[in-house]
Amino acid sequence: MASPLQGVVVLDMSRVLAGPWSGQLLADLGAQVIKIERPQGGDDTRGWGPPWLEDSLEQGGPREAAYYLCANRGKASVTVDISHPQGQALIRELAAQADILIENFKVGGLARYGLDYASLTASNPRLIGCSITGFGQDGPYAHRAGYDFMIQAMGGLMSLTGEPDGQPMKTGVAITDVMTGLYATVGILAALNERQRTGRGRQIDVSLLDVQVATLANQSLNALVSGASPSRHGNAHPNIVPYEAFPCADGHLVLTVGNDSQFARLAKRLGQPEWASDPAYATNAARVAHRQQLVPMIATLLRRRTRDEWLADFEADGIPAGPINTVSEVFDDPQVRHRGMAFDFIREGARIPQVANPLRFDSQPQVSDRPPPRLGEDTARVLGERLGLDDERLAALRAQGVI
């Protein structure tokens, strides 16, 4: 069965996480993604270890960092030095045949090489360009570099994360980068759809700061509606009670009671059915107002039994709750295993672990069958197939350090 983006060609000139995340998603959806990398070192994340893929070390190959492997499945790696005039010419030729360009250079960074979107569309007006930066193409911060941690701080997320009396905290994953990659992909797919009508591409401008502000979701509206900045609630929810982590006799669980009927079932299971009719607790708004009284009472009751005993009862009662798993425990979870969220590529007998694309089409996983490429492993093939360069020409470019 054909993949949704079969026949679409993507020139991925991005590095680290946000851009490569978008490129990997497009590759999973069937696009041919050509990853352009520096001949020396390639994508920065190739060196962001440990941990390293041990199989690559045992076979005497170049080290491959787990960080790099998380975001580059399905791509062809082509090394090109874009500071060299001949390297710039190669990129222009590849862009002339491409449908999409993804890049995360600083504002104006590609223009100095004549590889900016305006220059490339002169010969390929159908090209869709997606530029990912820290702060966007305009504004007082446009010239600045942006990194996920800094953007979580500037964009308000850290002010919401952590214990009320503790230090503001970032998330355990570079969530702003990941969300930026997803927003970039949405924009690219919208532009592809529009191009069917207009025959022309679009330039998409997506910034980490914009994405972080947009994904504050209910918390941003809490601030705009109330006029007050939300405070940190630790694992608690600012708008729902009980919706947080609780200690049990042997560990912790999370309760996510989202409506009044679920709360009534919880109250009954805890041996306090009268809570469901108490005006102080009967509605979510009342529970939020009286969280300081209610939450400690729930915590006291939950400490009397083990986590798994409570979880079994909550499952039987239809009360949303779950364990707090480690990442290793996540991949041992029966639901996660059933859905095939972890899988392996086998390359030359070496195992390359991967996390699957969560999208399914007609009940089938939508994941590329190509492992993350070694640096430059596809240079000769891609330049030969797409640009017609023969072995002699490729050898000359290699000798000059262009590829």
Token pair for 33: 């993604």
Q: Which of 43, 116, 148, 177 is catalytic?
A: 177
Helix (H) or strand (E) holding 154: helix 148-154
Alpha helices in 199-333 (DSSP H): 208-214, 218-226, 260-269, 284-289, 291-302, 307-317, 327-332
Is the separation of the CB atoms in 55 and 351 below 8 Å?
yes
Q: DSSP assignment of 52-68, as one string?
A: B-HHHHHTT----BHHH
Q: Is 48 exposed, middle or buried (0-12, 13-18, 19+ CB in 10 A)?
A: middle
**Could you give the C-alpha distances from 53 to 27, 35, 39, 332, 371, in angstroms and in order?**
22, 20, 21, 20, 13
Q: Is 378 a catalytic residue?
A: no
CA distance 234 to 252: 14
**Could you give the C-alpha distances from 279 to 140, 269, 274, in angstroms and in order?**
51, 19, 10
Token pair for 305: 């039994």
**Which residue in 86, 185, 90 sits closest to 128, CA to CA?**
185
**Could you give the C-alpha distances from 196 to 29, 126, 191, 205, in angstroms and in order?**
18, 10, 9, 21
User: Which residues does the annotation mark as catalytic?
Assistant: 177
